[in-house]
């Protein structure tokens, strides 16, 4: 049974939550606190899976509470449920929260968010990996791209499209921007997966605040990585996004599906970035083992980390509220047959794109074999050569 702690200084709000979530009492053990201090006292007595807190509270506000939770209880999922937050506070709070929900919040939205986060938590069996993902505030960028975005944002009249194009080339920036724009704070009726669209919605002042004031973006320190080539990973990720979109278009899928494909391709290996940036010695070991055994690093990751970059990436993006189809593509891009859907999906497009992209960039993390049995099960074996021909026509490296 999952344990959920709700925090709000309004007793009536807590009573309302208790009433509307009564149906979950057989799945959740719920406790309620009227202040940040009371919440910390409750957390000190027993472990919890999720903390859901209001933002504006006397004494200790929601952001301060979640900051303490992150430091003291790194295995806890952190959610803000608030209707009284300005944009600057929201941005500064994005370091400590995984998701933001607006009051009033529909019961099903609240339930679905908590359930999803709990299910995603079970993706990673290793406790140290879970802690690492839960404590991840942002992800590093290539130095050249970081410098470029900083330079652009210091210009007085830079076109938003140009800023979006730079962000779209970077794994970490894309992930963080999509986390923020897809939060309930902005109240959008549709999920955003295009970084340029996200920049237009957020506005240049918000992007400047993220980069220049709150410093949520940072450059990648590669001094401790001896076997990892970040430039190759970025180039490979961009190419997989391009290939995935081509393949989706060839199968005549919906515009939304096609729009999601570049982001899914760009983010499919984001777990590698988490591992390489935070655990460089272990990641070097995984890469060295792969070279020694002549196998994919995906296989040696399990040996070294007791988990894979696919699981790490899917967990982080799920916590950040990235659209579900993209999370599935990240989770199953090496193992598409484990996906429940037995039709062509974004998982298929990214799996094929990744296999084709790995042929050109083995230095990005080892060649990946196409799952021919999975493609045959979908009845798409005859499409492989057409996909390959179309993608290879655009190869430029």
Residue pLDDT, tens place only, 224-249: 888 888 889 999 999 999 999 999 99
- Alpha carbon distance, N-terminus to C-terminus of the chain: 51
Q: What is the pLDDT of residue 133?
A: 95
Residue 54: its pLDDT value, please? Answer: 95
Q: Which residue has the tokens 């590698």?
A: 272
Q: Number of C-alpha atoms within 13 angstroms, CB side, residue 285?
A: 10
Paired residues of 102 in beta bridges: 82
- For the chain, list the domains and their CATH numbers: 2-122 (3.40.50.2300), 143-213 (no CATH), 230-393 (1.10.3210.10)
> What is the percentage of the chain residues whose pLDDT exceeds 90?
68
pLDDT score for 368: 62
Render pLDDT for 183-229 as a digit per residue (tens, 0 to 9).
988 888 888 999 999 999 999 988 988 888 777 788 888 888 888 88
Condensed to tens digits (0 to 9), the pLDDT of residues 119-172 reads 887 778 889 999 999 999 889 998 899 899 999 999 988 999 999 999 999 999
Between CA 334 and CA 298 the distance in angstroms is: 8
CA angle, 267 as apex, 263 and 269 as ends, to 5°?
Answer: 150
Which pair of structure tokens corresponds to residue 148? 């470029």
| pLDDT at residue 359, as a whole number | 60
For residue range 74-131, list pLDDT tens digits in order: 999 999 999 877 888 888 888 899 999 998 889 999 999 999 888 887 778 889 999 9
> pLDDT: is 365 or 17 the higher one?
17
Q: How many CB atoms lie within 10 A of CB 130?
A: 21
Of residues 71 and 87, which shows the higher confidence score? 71
Other C-beta atoms lying within 10 Å of the C-beta of residue 148: 17
- The pTM (predicted TM-score) of the whole model is 0.91
Mean pLDDT of 289-294: 90
Which of 28-32, 43-47, 349-353, 392-396 comes out lowest in average pLDDT? 392-396
The pLDDT score that the predictor gives to residue 120 is 83
Region 53-66: what's the mean pLDDT? 94
Kind and range of the H or E run holding 204:
helix 204-208
Q: Give the closest residue to 53 by CA, choosing from 25, 22, 76.
A: 76
Distances (CA, A) of 343 to 71, 348, 372: 43, 8, 14
pLDDT band at 361 (very low <50, low <70, confident <90, very high): low
**What is the tens place of the pLDDT at every residue in 6-20?**
999 999 999 999 999
Check: CB of residue 163 under 8 Å from CB of residue 184: no
**Residue 364, pLDDT score:** 47
């Amino acid at each position: 049974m999952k344990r959920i702690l709700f925090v709000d200084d309004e007793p009536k709000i807590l009573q309302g939550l208790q009433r509307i979530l009564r149906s979950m009492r057989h799945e959740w053990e719920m406790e309620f606190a009227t202040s940040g201090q009371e919440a910390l006292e409750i957390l000190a007595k027993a472990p919890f899976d999720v903390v859901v807190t209001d933002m504006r509270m006397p004494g200790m506000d929601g952001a301060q509470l979640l900051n303490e939770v992150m430091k003291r209880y790194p295995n806890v999922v952190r959610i803000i449920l608030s209707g009284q937050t300005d944009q600057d506070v929201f941005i500064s709070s994005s370091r400590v929260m995984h998701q933001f929900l607006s009051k009033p919040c529909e019961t099903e939205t609240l339930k679905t968010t908590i359930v999803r986060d709990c299910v995603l938590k079970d993706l990673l069996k290793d406790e140290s990996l879970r802690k690492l993902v839960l404590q991840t505030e942002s992800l590093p960028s290539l130095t050249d791209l970081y410098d470029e975005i900083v330079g652009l944002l210091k210009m007085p009249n830079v076109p938003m499209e140009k800023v979006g194009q730079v962000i779209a080339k970077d794994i970490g920036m894309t992930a963080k921007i999509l986390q923020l724009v897809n939060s309930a704070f902005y109240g959008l009726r549709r999920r955003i997966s295009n970084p340029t669209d996200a920049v237009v919605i957020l506005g240049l002042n918000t992007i400047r605040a993220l980069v220049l004031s709150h410093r949520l973006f940072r450059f990648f320190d590669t001094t401790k990585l001896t076997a990892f080539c970040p430039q190759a990973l970025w180039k490979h990720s961009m190419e997989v996004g391009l290939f995935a979109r081509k393949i989706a278009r060839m199968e005549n899928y919906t515009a939304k599906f096609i729009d999601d494909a570049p982001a899914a391709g760009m983010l499919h290996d984001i777990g590698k970035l988490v591992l390489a940036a935070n655990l460089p010695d272990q990641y070097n070991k995984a890469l060295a083992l792969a070279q020694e055994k002549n196998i994919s690093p995906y296989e040696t990751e399990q040996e070294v980390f007791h988990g894979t970059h696919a699981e790490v990436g899917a967990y982080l993006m799920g916590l950040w509220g990235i659209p579900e189809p993209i999370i599935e593509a990240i989770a199953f891009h090496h193992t598409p047959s484990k996906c429940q859907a037995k039709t062509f999906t974004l998982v298929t497009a990214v799996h094929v794109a990744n296999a084709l992209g790995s042929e050109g960039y083995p230095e990005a993390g080892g060649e990946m074999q196409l799952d021919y049995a999975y493609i045959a099960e979908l009845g798409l074996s005859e499409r492989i050569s057409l996909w390959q021909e179309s993608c290879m026509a655009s190869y430029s490296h």
